[in-house]
Structures are given as C-alpha cells and as structure tokens.
Amino acid sequence: MLIQGQNYKTVWMEGNIIKLINQPLLPHRFEITEVHNYEEVYLAIKTMVVRGAPAIGATAAYGVAQAVYDFQGPLKALKHHLAKVNKRIASSRPTAQDLFHGIANVTNSTINSKTVKEAKKKAVEAAEEYANNSVEECKKIGEHGSKLIKNNFKILTHCNAGALATVDYGTALAPIRIAHYNSKKIFIYVDETRPRLQGARLTSFELGEENIPHAIIADNAAGYYMRQKEIDICIVGADRIAANGDVANKIGTYEKAVLAKENDIPFYVAAPLSTFDLNCSSGNKIPIEERDQSEVLFSIGWNDNGDFNKVRISPENSKAKNPAFDITPARYITGIITPKGIINANKQGIRKLFCVERL
C-alpha cells in the first residue's frame, strides 16, 4: 500500500523481529511498531495495533515462527513450547478465523522437524509463505471483484477491509484499488464504523493516500444514500464465513446488508480462503467478541497540540455493550468475492470452491 509515497506491508518480519504498522495512531501519526515475543504478539492483536482478519492471521503466523526461531532447548521440548505459544496467541481475539488458520499453518509445517535448527528454518519459511500467499489472494480478489465495478459507480464499504486489514491490497478495497488502477471513475462512501471508527480513520486514510475520491459518512446515513439511488454496490470484508455462507463481520454489517436488500443494491463480501470455516455450520456457531465498554463510552481524538485525547461522550453512570461483530445471513449476500472467483453465498457455492462433496 502507498503511505507517504512509499510502499508498505501491514506486517512483516526482519530477522527475529516482527514489524507492524501501528494502526491506533492512524491517520494522525505513522509509526512502525516492533514486536519481540509471543506475549507482545498477543497484546498487538488484543489491543488492535494490528486488526483485520487476514492481517491478524499473518501476524499470528509470524508470532509462531518467531517463538520457534527464538526457542532455546531440546527438540522434545519444542512441542510443549509451541502448545503454550499457540494457546496464548489464539486467546487474543475469538472471532476471526484467520487467526487460527495462521497459527495452524506454521505449526503444522514445523512440528515434525527432525532438529531444532530444521524447525526454525521451516517455521520462518512457512510464515513468509503464508504472508506472501495472503498478498496474492487479495490481489486476485481485486482482479475478480473489479469486474463488478462499472465506470462512475458509487460504492459503499464498511469498516476497514483495505490493505491495513490484510498484508497488502485488502479484501473489500482490493476491487476498488484495481478499478482505480484501471482508470475507472469511482466514488466511495466510507461508513465511519463506530465505535473504533476504522472507516473514518483507516479506510479514508488508505483511499486518500492513493487519491481515490471518497467521503466519510455517519453509519446511520447509509440508508439515506441508498434510498437516494446514490449507491450502486456494497462491498465489505469478513472475519469468518460459515459453511452455509453466513458471514461474521464488523458490527453494523448486518444492517447494511438488510438495507441493501430492501433497496435492490448488490451486496458482496470479499474474503480470502483462510476466512472460511468449513467446520462451522452456520453463523449461529461463530463466537462474537465483546470488547471493553469504554470504546463506546469514550472517544479518542487528535487535538490542536498534536496529542491524542480520550474524552467521555456519555453520562458518567451509564454502561455500554460493545459487540465487535455481527452475523449477516447468507440470504442477504449477493455473492462472495474469493481468489478463485465470485461464488454464491451458500453450501453449494462453498463446496464447489473447496472441491468437497459435503459440509
């Protein structure tokens, strides 16, 4: 992704150090955070220094590789060490399937090594391959999805499913990027996405860095623009896709899908293969993360002195509920944009995608 005229990935590894774009500081300050051990990996995911399902998956993969790379001990102790590392990283956030996919990918590539030296080599290679594959999948999502975008289309997106939510390119923003690179005239309506404002802070930041025309809108304004025929297509990302096509994504996605259906607007979900959970029969089985109520009760902003301020926007005695995700039933989804093409959001489409006989 372009930031200040230079290309960056969201997460990468140099030696035994994991490097991340520090996302809570954006758009006001651009900093690279260094992560030195699996406990710091856990905290980076938990506190959303890194967020977005594919980016979390790649960070988790690097976290396992880092733990193996730094391991000092006999081979027989490595399996126990990996189990401890994996359990800790996996506990950071419960909803995104990519987190568990990244952990399993590196662990399975490493666990049968004959020596510790071999395990270290395999772990790092597996993590790099995982991250590189993620980039390639997102690029292909962009290529397939851009065919849905016609010249002069106005597009609604929700939360941040851009390069910052992946290793590069993004999921929902990948088709938008490719359409822009192909000189299509487009305009993006960016849901602010309360309470953490990933749309207002991050999606708008990415679009601005690449000079893609856009406007931030209040979450409650999407229905207004749909009814005014100002939106031609909706494209969102996903944190987990169940075997029946139900989708878990950032809170507020469900109501946008219902509004799109009511207004006869195509509603697409963009996701890599790692986001599908074939062992999850429906959205009812997906665990929904409940985050700290302070994210709703307070807001964080950038003041004129160049400092971040946290201010309360609610009565002192009020409490809040803060589900981070909701479930969009498959019947509201026009299609799922994958690296292998656009599929129907149902068991048949997913079976065909993964070449399996039953789910």
Catalytic positions are 239
Q: Which of 25, 15, 12, 92 is nearest to 55 (CA)?
A: 12
Phi-psi region of 194 (alpha: psi -120 to 50; beta: other; left: phi over 0): beta
First to last CA, the chain: 36
Cα 214 to Cα 284: distance, rounded to the nearest angstrom? 34
Rounded-to-integer distance, Cα 331 and Cα 342, Å: 16
The residue to which tokens 């946290």 are assigned: 310
The backbone region for 216, taken as left when phi is positive above 0, alpha when psi lies in -120 to 50, beta otherwise, is: beta
To the nearest 5 percent, what fractions of the chain are helix, strand and coil?
45, 20, 35
For residue 214, the cross-strand partners are: 188
| DSSP-derived secondary structure for 4-67 | TTEE--SEEEETTEEEEE-GGGTTT---EEEE-SHHHHHHHHHTTSS-SHHHHHHHHHHHHHHH
